[in-house]
Every structure is written in C-alpha cells, then in structure tokens.
Amino acid sequence: MQVFTDIGGLIIDMDGVLWHGDQALPGLEAFFATLRELQLPFVLATNNASITAEQYVGKLSAMRVEIGRREILTSGMATALYLSERYPASHTRVYAIGGAGLRQPLRDKGFVLLEEHDPGPADLVVSGLDKTLNWDKLCNAALHIQAGAGFYGSNGDVTLPSERGFLPGNGATLAALTAATGVMPITIGKPAPIIYQQALALLGQAPERVIAIGDRLDTDILGAVRTGIRSVLVLSGISREEDIPRLDYAPTWVMRDIRELTEALRR
C-alpha cells in the first residue's frame, strides 16, 4: 500500500465511517487516539444535517471519544454559511424541512424561519434530513417552491446507513419535491466541493496537504476529486470496491475500515 505523505489534515465523514446509527464501528477509539498522538488536525464533515454540532460532540463522547465543536462541520452548518454569503439573512424568510442540525445554524446566521402554520411567502426552501417528515411539510415546501422560493438542499444523499440497514436520506425528500414542482434544488453538501472548501478553511491547509475519508463514492470521493484533494474510500459503509471500475473517477486509496486506516497512519 502507498504510504501517506505530507498530511496537514484530514476531512472525515461520519455515517458509515465512524458508526452505523448509534453503533460505533470497530477501532473508533484507537483511530482518534492516533490522530491526537500524531497531532493531526481534522474536521468531521458530514452530509447529515439532522443534528447539531453539539449533539455530534455528545454522540462521540458516549462512544468514549472527546472532540471539540470546532472539529465538526455538518451540511446544515455549511448550508447556513453558504446562504448567509448570498442573502441578507435578517430579511430572508426560510421554510426549512429538517431537524435542529439544519434549523439552528440558519437561526445562528440570522435567517427568519417560518413555522408550519405561517403561510409565507418564503424566500427560500431549505431541506435537510428530517426524521419527522410528514405530508404537511412536503405540501408546504412544494407550495413555497411553486410560488417562486429558491430551493436548496443541505445534501443529496438518497440513503443513510443505520444499524437497521440503508434508510431514506435527504435526497429522497429532494426527489419528491422535485417531482412535485419540476424544480431542481441547489445542494450544498458532498459531492459539491462547497463543504470541503469550508473544511479546508477551518484546517488552514492547502488542498494538496489534506486527505478526505469517506464511505460513498458518489458523495465523499467525488466531492474530494472535485475539490482537488486525495481520498480514502473505506468499505464499512455504502460503496464497494467493485463499484470503482464503472466510474470515471476513483479514490486515491481503498481500505477495509478505520482500523486499516489507523495502521496506515502509524507507518
């Protein structure tokens, strides 16, 4: 296996890489202990916008791994930052489908969030993974989009790995709204390079000195390729090694899981 060289930081996916649902994957504690021992900075960058950075810190703490809030970047946080750079937040009304992981970053940036009973009009519809998704939310979002609201998705993942198997992701919600409105959303998370570029800024590193780790070829790896950074595909989540020859892009390395990655980092 090729030896890692000139690493200034890591951008690490979470679902399918560190855990399945609430079940930590083998080698989790040793992996983070190695990162701390090597003084290797990292950003945990996830397309999952269902929970907040603070909740991710708590989830990892329950798995006996301590990290700081500044080491987390969710697609909800990335979406709020992206939109705040393009819209006057205090004058922009947002209808958001999603949990606290999407809604709180939007509030933190000063956006006005419409409630379910508020008829609008909305300037933007923003959708993230929503585990309480229902018919009324889909109807409200569709009506706002049909009335001219801008349509954004925190990410386009159609599935979400869990201890039960692969569940519908935010991409499934976006597909339903696109079918109902004929409007395609702008997505902020991987494979768009936006979230990776924001993570690079947090690390303070040039793209050539950073490695992305992920379990999905169509999001984690493609996003890394589009951003110009090296990547590791771990086979503990969605994608399989036999999927690679069918694509016109590829990860720099393929590894079984974070245990193999830990061994490689220690060489």
Chain segment 104-138, per-residue pLDDT in tens: 999 999 999 998 878 779 999 999 999 999 999 99
Contact 13, 220 (CB under 8 A): yes
Record the pTM.
0.91
At residue 6 the predicted structure's pLDDT band, cuts being 50, 70 and 90, is: confident
Is-catalytic flag, 157? no
Q: Pairing between strand 186-187 and 19-20?
A: unpaired
| 35 CB-contact burial (10 Å; exposed 0-12 / middle 13-18 / buried 19+) | buried
Contact 73, 50 (CB under 8 A): no
- Whole-angstrom Cα distance, residue 250 to residue 224? 10
pLDDT more than 90, % of the chain: 85
List pLDDT tens digits, range 180-198: 999 999 999 999 999 999 9
Q: Which of 6, 15, 118, 220 is catalytic?
A: 15
- Whole-angstrom Cα distance, residue 250 to residue 157? 19
Give the domain 9-47+190-266 fold. Answer: Rossmann fold (3.40.50)
CATH 3.40.50.1000 residue spans of the chain: 9-47+190-266, 76-187
pLDDT value of residue 2:
57
Contacts of 135 (CB under 8 A, 6+ apart): none
pLDDT value of residue 62:
97
Is-catalytic flag, 243? no
- Whole-angstrom Cα distance, residue 249 to residue 229? 13
pLDDT value of residue 5:
82
Q: Which of 13, 130, 157, 257 is catalytic?
A: 13
pLDDT at 162 over 80: no
pLDDT at 1 over 80: no
Q: Which CATH superfamily is domain 76-187 in?
A: HAD superfamily/HAD-like (3.40.50.1000)
pLDDT value of residue 36:
97
Our CA dihedral for 93, 94, 95, 101, rounded to 10 degrees, sits at: -150
